[in-house]
Structure 1
Amino acid sequence: MADLAELRQHAQQIFAAGVAAANPTLALNRFLSTEHDQLVIGLTNGAVRSHAWQKVHVIAFGKAAGLMASAALARIPAQLLQLPVIAVTNYENSADYRNIELLTAAHPLPDQAGLKAAQRIAERMSLVQKNELVLVLISGGGSALIPYPINGISLAEKTQVTELLLTSGATINEINTVRKHLSVLKGGGLAKLAMPADLHALILSDVLGDDLSAIASGPTVPDPTTYADAVALLHDKQLWPKLPRSVQNHLQHGVQGLIPETPKPNDVIFARTGHSLIGSNTVSLHAMQQAASQLGYQTLIYQTQLQGEAKLEAEKLAAYAKTLNKPLALIAGGETTVTVTGQGLGGRNQEFALAFACAASQYGLTSEWTLLSGGTDGRDGPTDAAGGLIDTCSISRMLTAGLNPLARLADNDAYHALQSSGDLLLTGATGTNVADLQVLLINT
């Protein structure tokens, strides 16, 4: 039977297997090939898409943009490739790639560099022609990395709206409902700019359920949401009075029909578009399950779409773990939320880990256990940590360090609590993003 040190090591190995399953290069190579000097694109259903395109323009954005663009460049016949390839990623994933114009910007809150990158993409779209292909490579983080507010709304105002939503407990789908109605590129906007060329998107999903209209706020697909949906959501979250006047006016004009809606499914612009899902949280979950089995654990997928308030979901998992009476690896994936009421530092995975440690102590979970909750991109919230890696003795280590775990949890200060006990999960930027993964290993 594994001791705590070995349990912690195994948890990291299982998490690493999940991250590896979302490797952008391997995922893209499975869907992109050539035949008779023509590009062949694999579809999610196993079919293929090909055409005698005269040129191929590659646009990539997201945390895996650099790796995806590099892989695409190696696959596309040189005579078809229109250089430079444009890729937009977060600062942590900056690197040098030949023939790739790599632009870096901020995440999760957008910045001026991201605006310039979005404008660069729009500029490139103005050059595409009929019988050409725009190959769009999308990965997690795309929404924040290419902010392009509509006329009349400044980047600072749009950033303010995003920040309000991020701290309100809104889900990623809810956040995107608003962002799509304040943006030039999101909600089908990029597909609109790409006309009259063909467009195909290869997508590494960080959205639970893999809703294409939600991934990176759906820049290449129809938007099923409306201005009325965005306004209702903002009222429901009690954020409407806090919005800049320009944003209120724009959304109200949209509801009144004074400005066009985002492109809907029957729009002619989507006649030339296609999409392939090349990786997701679910794929990573199954890779973790396999890794745990290979390490000798009986495995169980606890949840494939873990959502809700991080504290509450962690307590539910601790209560469930209390009912188990055998060694087991519980695996979950998803994306929880945090309603910020305190002044501390952390992220949803760190808060989940700390809340689980507190709940396990309160429920008397006496068996040896280790829990890892981490972001597959290697960054959890505005911190240098990917999440938390805690065990049976974490609370004791925090108390010895002079910290009150419950008080830190109440102040949304999971980072410093986990730092005091040596339980921060530090992976560095991974170059990919398929949301969050959790593994709980239990000895009895």
Structure 2
Amino acid sequence: MINERTIVSELARLESDAREIVSAAISGASPSVLLERAIREGALASVDQHERVLALACGKASMPMASTLMSVIGESVHAGLVTVPDDGAISGSLSPLEVMVSSHPVPDDRSEAAGRRALELAHGVREEDLLIVLLSGGASALWSVPADGLTLEHLQQSVTTLLRSGADIEEMNTVRKHISAIKGGRLAAAAAPGSVVTLMISDVAGDDPSTIGSGPTVPDSTTYADALHVLERRGGRSAYPNAVVAHLDAGARGKNEESPGPGDDVFRSTEARVIGSNADALEAAAKKASELEYETVIAPRPVTGEASDVGRRLAQQLMDTPARRPTCLIWGGESTVKVTGTGRGGRNQEMALAAVIELSGCARPAVLLSAGTDGVDGPTDAAGAVASSRTHMHAKRLGLDAAAFLANNDSNSFFEAAGGLIKTGPTQTNVMDVQIGLIGTGRTD
């Protein structure tokens, strides 16, 4: 049996290593590196075949993606737009590209203005032109143009309700695509018959191009009826604005034109490519963990589901790991939180808090860290949090009831008091979340 001093020392080392590994994961999803790789592989080989090149970049990674694009083919770019979130660093001139700041995760007037400007530029694309679209996580909120008959307020109310109901990103974007004038292939329709090349950094499980940024330039296989089903599952129709329900219902009855789907002529000259994803972050994390001499395993399936349930499940998997040598388990994906309390937190902190309770029964030194690769977890200044096999005991000594904080969705307050918050600041990338589980052997040698 190892003594108390050794346990404390090993836990400190495990937490330090977990933080180093997640930092490597975020670096592995660098937008500049991912775009440079795609360009080397021929993603923009057709640039010289077009009379004019226009560029649109939108999402949390839009600034580094646009900067990289301009450093490579800047002399060929005629005009364009870069749309960044409030916390997106703007560095230097990207002329002739315009830069507009927008809102995330709930759209505001700036989101509508940016979306309308993107559509205006797309409408100016001629048949002999090329429109390059650089998309990353957050684009759905940053470009928000209401469909005819709806207002920005209708979109805001719908997004807020979906967020609080625990809707996953696919459900969110199914609704967004059917209450929007830019999503679900409609940006490509605006640019037709010009050529469109879309390069995407995926923030969704499965890397479906039609879900990334709500698929403004790719075919949409979802329908108005699908969007109505999401509303019914996530609070019921009465929880949403009457105008939104009426719009979706009219579409389901064939009164509103469906978003362009597979085989539609507007996609005749379009191409879409996912150039980076959660897998890049996980591979970088595994490389760093191996360098730190951990036996390393990447989970084969993405993390999904209610954050607290996932936290308990991952903690149990960590505790079930054989004690042959120090081991690193790596997961990636995106959980959800159905908000029922009045506290403050995010899905990663909620997951870590659930793990605090589960790991309290672990006899070996262990830590579980969960963080968003974008550096943002809910309406907080943290990217996530780290739990250890001693956090629960430490919290009890401070008079903190972990279960009560979890029930109130107050994970941020818990980790502020107990310690363990992960704060990276905005990272200018977004490939979902990463979870790092480290467990020692329990030996003193």
Same fold (TM over 0.5): yes
Partner of 2:30: 23
Alignment of 1:124-203 (within 5 A): 124-203=121-200
CA contact (8 A) 2:353 2:411 kept: yes
Whichever residue aligns with residue 165 of structure 1, its letter is L
TM-score by length of 2: 0.94
AA aligned to 2:43 is G
Which of 63, 77, 97 pairs up with 2:92?
97
Q: Is the 8 A contact 1:94 1:104 kept in 2?
A: no
**5 Å matches for 1:359-438?**
359-361=358-360, 364-438=361-435
Match for residue 37 of structure 1? none
Structure 1 residues 18-70: Cα deviation after superposition (integer angstroms, max 9, x where no partner): 1111101111111226xxxxxx9428xxxx54551111101000000011001
Does residue 231 of the first structure (1) align with residue 228 of the second (2)?
yes
| CA distance in structure 2 between the aligned counterparts of 1:96 and 1:331, rounded to whole angstroms | 33
Are the counterparts in 1 of residues 315 and 368 from structure 2 also a CA contact under 8 Å?
no
* SS of structure 2 residue aligned to 1:286: helix
Provide closer, same or farther for how the CA distance between residues 360 and 77 of structure 1 changes in structure 2, counting only shifts above 3 A.
closer
Structure-1 separation of matches of 2:204 and 2:213: 9
Structure 2 residue aligned with 1:86, among 45, 65, 81?
Answer: 81
Following the alignment from structure 2 to structure 1, what is the Cα–Cα distance between the partners of residues 301 and 422?
22
Following TM superposition, by how much is the alpha carbon of 1:365 offset from its aligned partner in structure 2, in angstroms?
0.8
Partner of 1:348: 347
Distance 1:295 1:62 in 2: 33
CA deviation map 1:94-147 (0-9, x unaligned):
313311422112211111111111111112122221111100000111111111
Q: Alpha-carbon deviation of 1:322?
A: 2.5
Match of 2:15 among 1, 5, 8: 8
Unaligned regions of 5+ residues in structure 2, if any? 1-5
Structure 1 or 2: larger strand share?
A: 1
The count of corresponding residues between Structure 1 and Structure 2 is 430
Letter of the 2:149 partner, please give it: G
Q: CA RMSD in A?
A: 1.5
Match of residue 297 from structure 1: 294
Which whole-Å CA distance do the structure 2 matches of 1:31 and 1:322 have between them? 39
Question: Partner residue of 1:36?
Answer: none
| Corresponding letter in the other structure for 1:82 | H
SS across alignment from 2:131: strand
Q: Which runs of 5+ in 1 are unaligned?
A: 34-39
**Per-residue deviation, 1:7:** 1.1
The answer to whether the 8 A contact 1:59-1:87 is kept is yes
CA distance in 1, matches of 2:283, 2:171: 27
Partner of 1:339: 338
Distance 1:72 1:205, change over 3 A: same
1:203-258 deviation per Cα after TM superposition (whole angstroms, max 9, x unaligned): 11111110011101111100000011111221122321111111111011101101
2:264 to 247, 251, 267: 267
Structure 2 Cα separation of the partners of residues 294 and 377 of structure 1: 24
- 1:323 is aligned to 320
SS of the equivalent of 2:302 reads: strand
